[in-house]
Structure 1
Amino acid sequence: MLALLRTAAILAMAGGAIVLGLMFRPVGSPPAPIELTGDVNRGAYLARASGCIACHTDIAGGAAPLAGGAPLKTPFGAFYPPNLTTDPDLGIGDWTVEDFAKAVRQGISPTGEPYFPTFPYPFYANFSDQEIADLWAAFQTVPAVPEPSPEHEAPFPVNQRWALKLWRAMFLTRPETDPVDGRSAAWNRGRELVRGAAHCGACHTPRNLAGARSRGATFSGNEDLPGGDNAPSLRPADLRARSWTVENLAFALRTGLMPDGDSFGGSMGEVVQGGTAFLSDADLTAMATYVLDAE
């Protein structure tokens, strides 16, 4: 019995040491200098594909683009997408391109604090330096809006930023966007978009008790989205059972109209309105090709 108590005490002390170490250990890594010239049009396109406008603009409220989005009401509290305009005090106007790269690819603020995972930065981790430069060039064209984003409404201990270091250590993974040998160019492009920029798995995958995507359940659907919304399964057999084809899915991502004549509502309606409606026919077909024949 004494030996068991000693073992338990040692394990408790070890666990405490790990937690303390995570509390004070910096997260992320300094990005290398980015000296590439960005293309505004490519950046704007990638921003649409990545949902930046859809999330950081209160479309229903008629707010200015990227001035801050409607709250995401989750079981962990309400989180407000921040102001991403060029305002130097309330937006990102005083950032550097390296600050931007670290935020987008690593989920770390210029002051070194981790962002809450309502920001889908894990899906952007594989963005190239050129893609970051393109995005940055596009964001530099956004007019400054001197409006603050409301503070997050999260209870203790969720509101403790240091706890996010533990969350990251347990659940953070890189997206699987690399091309797969033997697959078509369209399929691989769809994979890159669906698993990367478009971050479809952020909504269409269930979450565990810690709010992380459930491993092994990718694209199986989620009935507990912010605001009480739900996202159906995107697995090929389930899509085909609901009469989806490559053609009508690509059309739906362009227009919001489903095969039965109904239209997307809720968050998916905003995804189309602020994002996929602006993508090329080739990219929409690629996304549909991938999800209807995913691994």
Structure 2
Amino acid sequence: MPKRRKIALAVLALIAAGGIAGWFITSPQRVDAQTIATLPEGDAARGEGVFWAGGCASCHAASGAQGEARLELGGGVQLKTEFGSFVAPNISQHPQDGIGNWPLEDFANAMLRGVSPSGEHYYPAFPYTSYARMTPGDVADLYAFMKTLPSVEGRAPGHDLSFPFTMRRGIGLWKLLYLDERPAVALDAPSDLVKRGQYLVEGPGHCGECHTPRSAFGGLENAEWLSGAVAAEGTGNVPNITTGEGGLGDWSDMDLTNFLETGFTPDFDSAGGSMASVVRNIAELSADDREAIAAYLKAVPPLSNGY
């Protein structure tokens, strides 16, 4: 065999091997079988708290929904970013248009791994990189509560993305960099109250998804955790919520807990935009949980504005 042909065949073999390796590396990784097997039977009453902590209504209910309409999760809210426009899907109990036919295993894989029932990667506009820190018990409780919510007919429109962001398989590489169950920040001997706040903020609350700067690839820069960021939709900045310069250093614990319940700042301003919806969600939590969130924010390493 001529030397040139041998070289060509070797190159093709390397390309094929690389393609096969890349295919396996980017494969959606589901929750392990042991975790699925030990998922508890969820408690809907506890799940309601997880629902509000997770902010599900903010994206999946109709824009501006109030009262009971916040529990009608037909989707349709758009998030316009530099990567394209993402549309929140119907996650109501409709058996075809929503998730009414999903077993708990499918729900857990979506929440903890960002994997759809058909085995596709979800785009990280769905904040599963934060939800990955949730306990299986909380996921089961949330599932039980979601089962009590109304069925809403109608599928939300699909995402409007341009190449190469239409290729979901590449999200497998992105997940290798940014999907991590470990805490976002290491705290020195935190109290039980701070630990609870860390879980709520870093897990279901997914506060870092808006308040933390992102890399060029759209992943969170945990070294600048909660230091503020350019808004994902490119209209203004999301504030620094550490106690560093430009952040919450002048706020007392009472200021923080009051804001989380009422939306009013110490300067008698009020939460606006998407934060107004976040406050409505957090106001549904217990006073103890709001106190825990405030304690955690006070314990996070102080940083100057990240934008």
> TM range, normalised to the smaller chain?
0.7 to 0.9
Q: 1:44 to 1:216 in 2, by over 3 A?
A: same
Choose from 23, 39, 46 the match for 1:42: 46
Q: 1:130 to 1:173 in 2, by over 3 A?
A: closer
Distance (whole Å) between structure 1 residues aligned to residue 190 and residue 178 of structure 2: 29
Per-residue deviation, 1:49: 0.3
Q: TM-score, normalising length from structure 1?
A: 0.87
Q: Find the residue that maps to 1:110 and give its secondary structure.
A: coil
Q: Find the residue that maps to 2:37 and give its secondary structure.
A: coil
Choose from 204, 211, 216 the match for 1:197: 204
Specify the code of the residue in structure 1 equivalent to 2:197: G
Is the 8 Å Cα contact of residues 203 and 225 (structure 1) preserved in structure 2? yes
Is the 8 Å Cα contact of residues 30 and 102 (structure 1) preserved in structure 2? no
Q: Find the residue that maps to 1:236 and give its secondary structure.
A: coil
In structure 2, what is the equivalent of residue 28 of structure 1? Answer: 30
The runs of 5 or more residues in structure 2 that have no matched partner are: 1-10, 302-307
Q: 1:143 to 1:70 in 2, by over 3 A?
A: same
Q: For each residue in 1:145-174, what CA deviation from the matched residue of structure 2 results, as whole angstroms up to 9, or x when unmatched?
A: 111111101111101111111211232222
Distance (whole Å) between structure 2 residues aligned to residue 240 and residue 217 of structure 1: 15
Question: Does 2:146 align with 1:148?
Answer: no
- More off after superposition, 76-85 vs 59-68: 59-68
The runs of 5 or more residues in structure 1 that have no matched partner are: 1-8
Q: 1:195 to 1:58 in 2, by over 3 A?
A: same
Q: 1:100 to 1:240 in 2, by over 3 A?
A: closer
Per-residue deviation, 1:79: 0.6
Distance (whole Å) between structure 1 residues aligned to residue 252 and residue 241 of structure 2: 12
Question: Does 2:127 align with 1:120?
Answer: yes
Per-residue deviation, 1:183: 2.5
In structure 1, what is the equivalent of residue 82 of structure 2? Answer: 75
Q: How many residues align?
A: 284
Distance (whole Å) between structure 2 residues aligned to residue 282 and residue 29 of structure 1: 31
Per-residue deviation, 1:104: 0.7
Q: Find the residue that maps to 1:42 and give its secondary structure.
A: helix
Question: Does 2:170 align with 1:166?
Answer: no
Is the 8 Å Cα contact of residues 52 and 282 (structure 2) preserved in structure 1? yes
Is the 8 Å Cα contact of residues 260 and 290 (structure 2) preserved in structure 1? yes
Question: Does 2:292 align with 1:286?
Answer: yes
